[in-house]
Amino acid sequence: MQIVQNGDDLGRILAQAAPESEIFIEAGVYRVKAMITAPGVTVTGAGPDKTVLVWDDYAKKLDGQGREYVTFRTWTLAVCADNVTLRDLAVVNDALRPEEKGQEVALTVYGDHFLMENCRLTSTQDTLFSGPLPDDLIDRYEGFLPDPLRAHKTCRQVFRRCLIEGTVDFIFGCGDALFEDCEIRSLVDARGRGFVAAPAHEKRQERGFLFRNCRMTRAEGLPDGCVYLARPWRDYGISAFVDCVYDGHISPLGFDKWNDTRRDETARFYESPPRPGRVPWVREIGS
């Protein structure tokens, strides 16, 4: 096992990690933008409040060629390999003010058989990107995003006993992602409304986001009824909420169709047990 201390070059260590290697990151705040590309890597911290990886890129930031970063280059940590495990650490994007700066990703996962346990993900808009990209964006960003962030692949992911917090669409993408026994915390946003999940699964996909035994909580000062559980970022997006517990910030309607679109006609949204007053197009599991 390789042990990383505060002050070490964590970005280089993660980028050069060998397949199947184990890395322990000691307590500390590491300002780093890092990518993992080797399969089978396990990264463990000293605890989600002790080992913190943080960076501050945002969508409207300009790169050296004068181009905006857009959402998909703003990550603090990008996992672009299969069979990667993260435990007992925090990944944070602290750019803040997304209403001015645009999206601010903390973690991008573009890998299969990914596991995250007892971790914290913190940002504002678009905290967690669960890859892959929608097909149209894979085509759009050819030559702009690195190939590991554009692959057509299956990405099965598990998030267990994690705290994930943000404001708008803060869990988004096309992954087959299970969120189990997690706390999903909505933060205060200057725009006055929040959305937890923004799925974009292709029609051919049969699985999407599953929230099981999760607690939907809120930061102090967030009013009642201002947050929706999910809205479809693309047609056919999938999100299911099973045996979850909600604070009062969750809208009685539960779900939103995404502005003036007709995605309510194709969205695959489920909730069990059913709640009275929900939008008519949400289904119960098994229906």
Give the per-residue pLDDT at 287.
Answer: 57
Which two tokens mark 266? 């194709």
Q: What percent of the chain has pLDDT over 90?
A: 97
* Spatial distance between the Cα atoms of 125 and 106, rounded to a whole number of angstroms: 10
Confidence of residue 285 (pLDDT cuts 50, 70, 90): confident
- Does the reported pTM lie above 0.95? yes
Give the per-residue pLDDT at 212.
Answer: 98
Asked if residue 7 has pLDDT above 90, the reply is no
Q: What is the mean pLDDT of residues 234-243?
A: 98
Contact 229, 197 (CB under 8 A): yes
Asked if residue 94 has pLDDT above 60, the reply is yes
Domains observed in the chain: 2-272 (2.160.20.10)
Confidence of residue 196 (pLDDT cuts 50, 70, 90): very high
Q: What is the mean pLDDT of residues 46-52?
A: 98
Give the per-residue pLDDT at 286.
Answer: 65
Q: What is the mean pLDDT of residues 84-103?
A: 98
Asked if residue 136 has pLDDT above 70, the reply is yes
